[in-house]
Every structure is written in structure tokens, then in C-alpha cells.
Amino acid sequence: MKRICIIGISGKLGQYMAQHALDRGFDVVGVCRPESLGKLDRFGDRIKVYPGRTNDRAVIEQAVKGCDGVLTVLAPWGTDDYASGTAKAVLDFAEPGARLIFSCGWHISRDGKDRYSWKLKTFVAVFGKLAKWMRAVDLDDQVRATDMIFASDTAWTVVRGSDLEEGDSEGLPVWSAHVGDPVLASNRTRRTDFALFMVHALTDDRLIHEAPAIVSRLSASARAMAA
């Protein structure tokens, strides 16, 4: 793995991923909205940025050229198929054989075998309807995006983040195939470690065609299972 592209590099997760990728010695290119370029000033010329919306197919085609891996922040913004447009552009234009890693939340289910708390179900139902009504966020489009990825024959991994918090790293998160598994009960991960897991997935072939749901390795539930 030499050169990687981060789609959505200026967000919180994107910036953490950029730092972890640089720490590993990768060449880093990224895509971010033109109005967000300033958020990346601290990286200077250590990264190359293509300004554009993440569902802009021409920008994605240019940015992913020659990349061995692509890290995509799947964000369900607006009601114009932003997440599914982003996923489709990455799937269509990434180099054959490139490792493709996508981020989303626990609400995404690959096989319908996840077991959700009433709290998460209520949040998704209420927030999802309200946000769509306000035309701010379309969770259904994030589902369409991940369904498209799951059906793809590319070397994909869909990383499903728990509730996120800021703070120093607690190490590489642990994961399970299904939400509801006891190891995930604590439902918390440091955002920097979500990014660490995304970057780690680029070179861990055991994660190809998996949708790991992650949790901090120092959380109570992860420690209880380790013990």
C-alpha cells in the first residue's frame, strides 16, 4: 500500500485518517468541499487535495487514480443521494483490486442479524424522519449506499462506528460482526481510533467483505470479554 485517497478528508474523521495514514508513510490525496479547504491547512504540502463534493464523479475519478486504497466517509447529507452517489463514484472509478474502506454507523445492517437496543431503534426512527423532513439528512440513502457496496465484487470493508467521543487513542478498536454481541455493549469509541481502524483495514485482508461493528478496546464490555 503506497498511495491512498480519503474521500471527505476535511471532516473530523477524515482529518484523523489523514494523520494516521501519513504516520504509516502513505502518500495521501483527498477530496473535500471547496469551502472546507482551510480545515486542512495544518497538513500543508504533505497531502494533495482535490476540491469538490464527494459525489462529484469527475473529481472522484481524478482523485482515486493510481490509489491502492480509498477511505470513504459515507455521510448521508441532504436529499440528493449524496451518500449513494459518493459510494457509486468510488466503486466505479477505483483502481481494480484497490482496498475500499467505507465508514457508517451501527444502524447499517449487512445481513439483518444485528440486534438493536430500543434506544438506537427509537433514535434512528425519530431522527431519521425528522432530518429527512427537514431535508438535512437522508439515512435511507446511506442504506442504499451500503447495499450497493455489499453487492459489489470489489475488495470492500464497511466499518460501522459506535457512538463516538473525542480524546486520546485507546488503541485499535475490537470488532464484532453483529450489533447486539456482548463485546459491543459499551457502545463507545474514540473518534481517532475509528480512524485508526479504517486505516488499519487497508492492509488487513481478513476484513475484506466484512462489516465490522467496532468498540473501544478499553471499554468495559471489551475488557469484560477479553477477561
Ligand X SMILES: NC(=O)c1ccc[n+]([C@@H]2O[C@H](COP(=O)([O-])OP(=O)(O)OC[C@H]3O[C@@H](n4cnc5c(N)ncnc54)[C@H](OP(=O)(O)O)[C@@H]3O)[C@@H](O)[C@H]2O)c1
User: Is the CA virtual torsion 192, 195, 63, 10 positive or negative?
Assistant: negative
CA distances to 25, 111, 187, 224 from 7, in Å: 18, 26, 26, 35
Q: Name the residue among 88, 96, 219 with its Cα closest to residue 165.
A: 219
19 binds ligand X (CB under 6 A): no
Q: Cell digits for 63? A: 482523485
**Cβ at position 202, least distance to ligand X in Å:** 16
Q: Give the end-to-end CA distance of the chain in Å, rounded to a whole number.
A: 34
Q: How far apart are CA 114 and CA 107, in angstroms?
A: 9
Task: Tell me which of 23, 80, 92, 163 binds ligand X, using CB under 6 A.
Answer: 163
201 binds ligand X (CB under 6 A): no
**Cβ at position 165, least distance to ligand X in Å:** 8
**Cβ at position 227, least distance to ligand X in Å:** 26
Of 22 and 97, the one with the shorter C-beta distance to ligand X is 22
8 binds ligand X (CB under 6 A): yes
161 binds ligand X (CB under 6 A): yes
Residue number of the CB closest to ligand X reads: 11
Of 2 and 136, the one with the shorter C-beta distance to ligand X is 136
Of 3 and 173, the one with the shorter C-beta distance to ligand X is 173
Q: Looking only at residues 116 through 155 of this chain, which bind ligand X when binding is defined by CB under 6 A? A: none
In this structure, are residues 162 and 188 in contact, taking their beta carbons and an 8 Å threshold? yes
Task: Tell me which of 12, 57, 144, 223 binds ligand X, using CB under 6 A.
Answer: 12
Q: What's the gap between Cα 65 and its chain centre?
A: 20
Element (H, E) at 125: helix 118-133
Size of the site for ligand X (CB under 6 A): 23
CA distances to 118, 145, 177, 213 from 107, in Å: 12, 13, 13, 10
Q: Looking only at residues 60 through 119 of this chain, which bind ligand X when binding is defined by CB under 6 A? A: 73-75, 77-78, 82, 103-105
CA distances to 98, 114, 122, 221, 226 from 155, in Å: 7, 23, 33, 30, 30
Of 32 and 155, the one with the shorter C-beta distance to ligand X is 32
Among the listed ranges 7-15, 21-29, 86-94, 174-182, the one in contact with ligand X (CB under 6 A) is: 7-15
Instruction: Provide the binding-site residues for ligand X, judged by CB under 6 A.
Output: 8, 10-14, 32-33, 36, 39, 73-75, 77-78, 82, 103-105, 161, 163-164, 191
